[in-house]
Amino acid sequence: MAKASETIFIVNPQAGNGSTGKTWPHLNTHARARLGRFETVFTRWPGDAVRATRRALEEGCRRIVCVGGDGTLSEVVNGFMAVAPTTRGQRELGFIPNGTGCDFVRTVAIPRNLKQAVGTIAAGRSRPIDIGRLWLRRHGARPVCRHFHNIASFGLGGEVSARVNRGSKAFGPFLSFLWATVVALLRYGKKRVTFRVDDGLLQTAIVWNVVIANGRFHGGGMQVAPEARVDDGLFHVVVIGDLSFSEVCRHLPKLYIGRISEIEKVCTWTGHRLEAASPERVLLEVDGEQPGTLPVIVEIVPGAINLIMKPENRS
């Protein structure tokens, strides 16, 4: 690109078990009617959206529109975070959700309906949202930095994410994540982890899962952090502790209706930073992907990206 377009769509045709590629011709026609001219970049491989976003922003593109699921959006977010804060502060991110989970739009005011999502972008109202930054150990390699817009977790969440991404998602987000959760519960053992939130005490606990939440939902609709906000400069840290298998099964429905705080062995904190480690192999989950293992350091980056959303949002 000699000169970047004002608006560039980054489209993952494989998102939503291939549904994005099938719906794109119709969506493309509708988007051009509402938004005018724009350039389109199709992704083929992991990392394509990161590179395309960074290149477009550095070449002067004012608005990036991501079409896909939370995994595609996560790559676009990482592309945004790869440029200077002064650059991304003058740019906007739009999102048209069409993936397996799309949990993030349950927190922010972005419609699931594709045409309505285009209408939200056409209205052009953006607001700064917080982004998570983490340093993790990629499998067998040295630590790397990565960013997330919704939720990071470690423990059972990493096992579920790995299982979902290895299998078919043809049954939709709810059943795909629920089945992976049930199988992981049967095969997974609780882990001993050591963690610290901000400058608090270093704690050691036996846990099923630890969640660092910017958004409220993950895992195809589990409301794991019902009080989380994307614009308050804080994480909500949720530790699902040493429950028995029968206790997990009995309380699992509470995850879907926002009543996780009623579970006796669940603890919550708010903070700006978390560090965690374990003598065991503990998998990470970051925006629905499984990128590595503990140890990890996570920090909040307040107001990092201008996200286009409906003005009535209060998240």
pLDDT for position 168? 57
- What is the rounded CA–CA span in Å between residue 244 and residue 131? 34
List all residues 6 or more positions away from 238 whose beta carbon is below 8 Å from its beta carbon.
Answer: 210, 211, 213, 224, 225, 260, 266, 267, 268
Assigned domain for 276 exists: yes
pTM listed for this prediction: 0.91
Q: Are residues 217 and 255 in the same domain?
A: yes
Q: In this structure, what are the phi and psi dihedrals at residue 45, rounded to the nearest 5 degrees? A: -130, 155
Q: Are residues 290 and 194 in the same domain?
A: yes
> Which H helix or E strand runs over 35?
helix 19-35
pLDDT for position 2? 44
pLDDT for position 124? 84
Q: Are residues 91 and 169 in the same domain?
A: no
181 and 198 in contact (C-beta within 8 Å)? Answer: no
| Count of CA atoms in the C-beta half-sphere (13 A) of 244 | 3
60 and 4 in contact (C-beta within 8 Å)? Answer: yes
Which one, of 258, 287, 235, lies nearest residue 72 by Cα?
287
- What is the rounded CA–CA span in Å between residue 108 and residue 309? 7
Work out how many domains the chain is built from and give that number: 2
Print the domain residue range for 88: 7-124
- Taking CA atoms, 1 is separated from 5, 6, 40, 49, 176, in Å, by 9, 12, 12, 15, 39
- Taking CA atoms, 303 is separated from 124, 169, 193, 309, in Å, by 18, 33, 30, 14
Of 84, 108, 124, the last residue of a domain is 124
Q: Where are the alpha helices (DSSP H) in 126-194?
A: 156-166, 172-187
276 and 294 in contact (C-beta within 8 Å)? Answer: yes
Q: Are residues 120 and 136 in the same domain?
A: no
CATH at residue 281:
2.60.200.40
- Per run of 10 residues, the mean pLDDT along the chain (length 315 residues) is 77 92 97 97 97 97 96 96 97 92 89 96 95 84 89 86 62 65 76 97 95 92 94 97 91 91 95 97 90 94 97 57
Please calculate the CA angle 86-91-93 and round it to the nearest 5 degrees. Answer: 135
Q: Are residues 112 and 177 in the same domain?
A: no
pLDDT for position 311? 79
List all residues 6 or more positions away from 279 whose beta carbon is below 8 Å from its beta carbon.
Answer: 192
pLDDT for position 163? 64
